[in-house]
Amino acid sequence: MLSRRRFLAATSTGVLQSATSFAWPVGKRLAISLSFDDARLSQIDRGLTLMETLDVKATFYLSLLSMQKRVDGWKEIARKGHDIGNHSTAHACTGNYRFTRALEDFDLDEMARDLDNANREIEASVGVKPVSFAYPCGQKFVGRGKAARSYIPLVAERFESGRGYLDEMPNYPQVCDLAQLMGTGIDGADWPTVRGLLDKGAKDGSWIVFVGHDIGKAAHQTTDVETLKRLVDYAKDPANGIWVDTVGRIGKYVKKIRS
């Protein structure tokens, strides 16, 4: 459906919302993307083989320091057709995290240089220019108090999409801002929990962008291999009407249908 007509769409929560008409490809009622942050080595060591076995493509957001530990592995992931995204140079989050330089100490010019540097380095090392960004810690500001500014416009100028983290809701494709996509945490989750998210998302026609870090046995910042297997098996069953693909490809579809 390519119409720009506006209508009132009812969500599963009963909220009526003005939206542009939108439809997923025929037979699909939910879209999901699997994304992994921080260029963690388990994504190469376990994730690559797992994704090959499951015949699914994921989106890997590379932060520079980690990427440089295993450049050949990331080249291989790109060569296999997975999406390579930008997760910044400094991985700056609020100073409350205490492990990086604080976003409170950044300004917009410095953040612009950080983003551009990461894109240059990733392209030079891996051979792919990222068109998608993941906000470190899901945070989208620089500065402090009255001087704080959003850096979403910098991301919108440079990338086709920007993804958050630990957001409460999935993306409602009629209205979502591609520069600040909601990211749904999957680390530590078991299959029944994920299945519940899929069921709810299917009722709303959502796009769920799952966000994980390490890949292994369910734990803090580790996505469980068994959960991933169950998730992809379920998503690939045509009876369930799920489109599973990269953030890049689903984002392009959303943009095209809404244009």
Give the footprint of Zn ion on this chain (CB under 5 A).
Answer: 37-38, 136
Identity of the residue numbered 117: N
Give min distance, CB of 87 to Zn ion, in A: 6
Contact 135, 162 (CB under 8 A): yes
Torsion sign across C-alpha atoms 107, 113, 118, 119: positive
Of the pair 22, 133, the CB lying nearest Zn ion is at: 133
DSSP state string for 123-138 = HHHHS----EEE-GGG
Cβ 65 to Zn ion shortest distance, Å: 11
Complex with Zn ion: residue 10 or 166, whichever CB lies closer:
166
- 76-79: long-range contacts, CB 8 A cutoff, minimum separation 24: 76/44, 76/48, 77/43, 77/44, 77/48, 78/126, 78/127, 78/128
Provide the 3-class DSSP secondary structure of residue 157.
helix
Tokens of residue 53, six digits = 């076995």
Contact 212, 40 (CB under 8 A): no
Q: How far is the CB of 136 from Zn ion (least distance, A)?
A: 5
Minimum separation from the CB atom of position 101 to Zn ion (A) = 14
Tell me whether residue 37 or residue 214 sits nearer to Zn ion (CB atom): 37
Q: Which is nearer to Zn ion, 130 or 136 (CB)?
A: 136
Q: Is 162 strand, coil or helix?
A: strand
By C-beta, is 38 or 187 nearer to Zn ion? 38
CB of 20 to Zn ion, least distance (A): 32
* Shortest separation between residue 159's beta carbon and Zn ion, angstroms: 16
Element (H, E) at 226: helix 225-236
DSSP state of 24: P
Nearer to Zn ion, 37 or 204 (CB): 37
Does residue 37 sit in helix, strand or coil? strand
User: Which residue has the CB atom at the shortest distance from Zn ion?
Assistant: 37
